[in-house]
Structure 1
């Protein structure tokens, strides 16, 4: 089989959207046998077998026709992965280099980062029960509804403004650390070691502030924001702070609203987070793709383990506008209805195709494997030796070196929309 369906499953986290307000639940109705939506339950991730569409051993995808794991099937059919991808990433066990997800976020995810390869290997050896694999996890989030997130450190001058204008924040930073940061910012290149160290000192001091002190300061901040006593510089994050406090009362992570870029993405816009970049997804539905890993270092907005020492030690402390993290959409070959999102890593890219009823789009053969999710509508995938009828919510594996044609077959004005993650060396 060159092209075949795989069976995704869903995860119910408290941060997921409820019932059919979640893209995850809507997709699952079509793709998972005997799946029924409970309107009272949150549905967070549309993934295969337990967490994702992919081959990570913690929760591998299944081949729909046989029930065999995707990794097992690919290990016996290496041509579906492709020779060059196999050689680069070592796929003898059938493991793909990437994972593919759909997330529906109602409640913010944790303040977190992902380790680089060397750090992941070390953490996996030291704490295998927490860091369950030795791989890094660069990731891309592509909005399919309006989407908000915290991503990467703000420019240093913006952080300095908050430290000057938000007394509740400044009170959590030791005076010597605060003075040094405000002295360094105007005169130092933000990429210089002194600037990175000053930012690290501020972030570390904030995340380790004594609980009794930061909860008192947070209560004062919330009271002030609720009374609309807000400086002009604070207005852009006032609603975010109040939202996070409702979801995670008395959590130090709320103060990260003053250190990290707050971005609002429209459908079709994307951000990329490399190793060591702090972030937190706040709300919205996204397509998410990442390297084949489950490693997350958390520090706030979560009931899970907070590993603040490792987070502080592994961040890049690159302070820059949010535009640094945006992924510029590109044409996909000569295609007219397909858009490529190609982050600066070798493990994955994502292409989005949108067709009106009756339209056709061809994708050239890719020298590597791919997984596609039907996000909207219905239609047909055709290749040299076969075809598949597809509907919203179904997940499809496409083998290496397989050209496919996409046909939209829905009702009038019902678009066929497909997101396809792939790797090509």
Structure 2
């Protein structure tokens, strides 16, 4: 595909993309990320290696490159051609893509983590640039490609009371003073008091000595293992056993009891704002976020943990997160719009012999083909696309997609509410 299909108007740009081999990724060809990466770059897949994330964007930790120009990154090309972003994006975010699109293949739990808001991200980047690689915030959204499990946000007050009353090991690890503080809070004290108590108990848990965690966790695992022979464990109890096998003696196993267990069906979406605790557990998804790689971790990980920062930054909001089902734009395209300015995502599923038009918008888009093959056309530009192909479409580009087989792709772009606001 040519970089310039017309002398004065850049057309569609095919991209060569980056892969991340984090330990929680699925192994070899069991990973959709590995298969996409192989199709995208022609690289050799190691059947013993973990393939976790496929990145499409300009972030320095995993940049995309213009196909046919090995040394020309998408970021550099955009800087040379700033008009491809459109005036609204350049004015608001400067000469760079404000979002990052990924595909994730999760084989085991990611760390319990949160992403800082812009103010905190700037401070952390200044203080620890080797750990916090940029100064941006990282609101994000996951769209399930398969059944997908995650921990997200704190459980309700009623569920918290239940944990404190029915999990003696949890009470033992944080101490009676903290658990009684929550259990004796009456409704008349309101949400602020509950939030303060939850903050206290979570902070206490995350700062308990590792030997105490190990000893008490062993009691919990032994009890659940015995009870598993007499009754059906709850899904949260089963998760505790699973997480302890993945991360032995880790405080994150206890922390999981305080977070909502969310199960997504293919097509469901979950968005996560700044300072919200979460951990992806299993499955494959499309993920889109503001262009950042900032993560504050405090459990279920061998990586650097910043417990003090995490405990101080969290919102401590309680209750289930909103599940997005998407809004149909036509019979083939469904749009997921989170409450964030930087991005929205369209899911497109075309049946054999069908076609669809993505209208021109005053901002850039990136596309990734998840399965199937077809054609993409913009202006005088046309080329075949298939599984693993990633494409950049400049602002103001109408994109026509067709297929003679079946095709599933996703488009990420700047939130339409920002682009189309007066």
TM-score (norm 2): 0.93
Residue 61, structure 1, aligned to residue 64, structure 2: yes
Question: Cα gap change, 1:84/1:232 in structure 2, threshold over 3 Å: closer, same or farther?
Answer: farther
Equivalent in 408, 411, 419 of residue 420 of structure 1 = 411
Verify: 1:240 aligned to 2:231, yes or no.
no
Q: 1:9 aligns with which of 18, 33, 40?
A: 18
Q: Matched residue of 2:184: which SS?
A: helix
Indicate the SS of the match to 2:217: helix
User: Counterpart of 2:302?
Assistant: 303
Shift of 1:185: 5.8
Distance 1:154 1:302 in 2: 22
Are 2:137 and 1:136 equivalent residues in the alignment? yes
Tell me if 1:76 matches 2:71. Answer: no
- Give a deviation string over 1:365-400, Cα, whole Å, max 9, x none: 121111111001000011222112100011111111
1:111 and 2:118 correspond: no
CA positional deviation for 1:85: 1.1
Tell me how far apart the structure 2 counterparts of residues 158 and 231 of structure 1 sit (CA, whole Å). 23
Q: Deviations over 1:99-142 (max 9, x none)?
A: 11111010110000000000101111111111111100001111
Match of 2:7 in 1: none
> Are the aligned partners of 2:11 and 2:379 in contact in 1 as well (CA < 8 Å)?
no
1:184-199 matches, within 5 Å, as 184=185, 186-189=187-190, 192-199=191-198
Q: Cα 1:233–1:158, aligned 2, differ >3 Å: closer, same or farther?
A: farther
Distance 1:61 1:27 in 2: 14
Separation in structure 1 between the aligned mates of residue 298 and residue 229 of structure 2, nearest angstrom: 27
Tell me whether 1:331 sits opposite 2:328 in the alignment.
yes
- Aligned residues of 1:273 and 1:325 also touching (Cα < 8 A): no
Q: Deviations for 1:126-178, whole angstroms, at most 9, x for unmatched residues? A: 11111111100001111101110100101111011011100011111232221
Alpha-carbon displacement from aligned partner over 1:267-311 (angstroms, at most 9, x marks no partner): 101100100100000011111111011110000000111100000
Alignment of 1:31-110 (within 5 A): 31-33=40-42, 35-47=43-55, 53-67=56-70, 68-91=72-95, 95-110=96-111
Does 1:384 pair with 2:379? yes
How far is the alpha carbon of 1:357 from its aligned partner? Answer: 1.1
Q: Is 2:342 the partner of 1:347?
A: yes
Q: Give, in whole Å, the separation in 2 of the partners of 1:138 and 1:231.
A: 43
Conserved in 1, the CA contact under 8 Å of 2:153 and 2:277? yes
Counterparts of 1:63 and 1:229 in 2: how far apart (Å)?
54
Q: Is the 8 A contact 2:17 2:63 kept in 1?
A: no
Q: Secondary structure at the match of 1:421?
A: strand
* More displaced stretch, 231-240 vs 241-250: 231-240
Q: Identify the residue that residue 166 of structure 1 maps to in structure 2.
A: 167
Alignment match, 1:222: 221
Residue pair 2:18, 2:63 contacting (<8 A) in 1 also: no
**Which residue number corresponds to residue 30 of structure 1?**
39
What's the offset of the Cα at 1:46?
A: 1.1
Q: Distance in 2 between matches of 1:109 and 1:99?
A: 19
SS of the counterpart of 2:173?
coil
Identify unmatched segments of 5+ residues in structure 2: 1-9
Over 3 Å counting, the alpha-carbon distance change for 1:232 and 1:368 in structure 2 is farther
- How far apart are residue 231 of structure 1 and its match? 10
- Structure 1 regions of 5+ residues with no counterpart? 48-52
Question: Residues 224 and 230 of structure 1 are in contact (CA less than 8 Å); yes or no, is this contact kept in structure 2?
Answer: no
Verify: 1:179 aligned to 2:180, yes or no: yes
SS of residue matched to 1:171: helix
Deviations 1:62-91 (A, max 9, x none): 111323111111112112101111111122
Q: For 1:271-310, what aligned pairs fall within 5 Å after superposition?
A: 271-310=270-309
- 1:233 to 1:346, Cα distance in 2 relative to 1, 3 A: farther
Q: Could you tell me whether the CA contact under 8 Å between 1:12 and 1:42 is conserved in 2?
A: yes
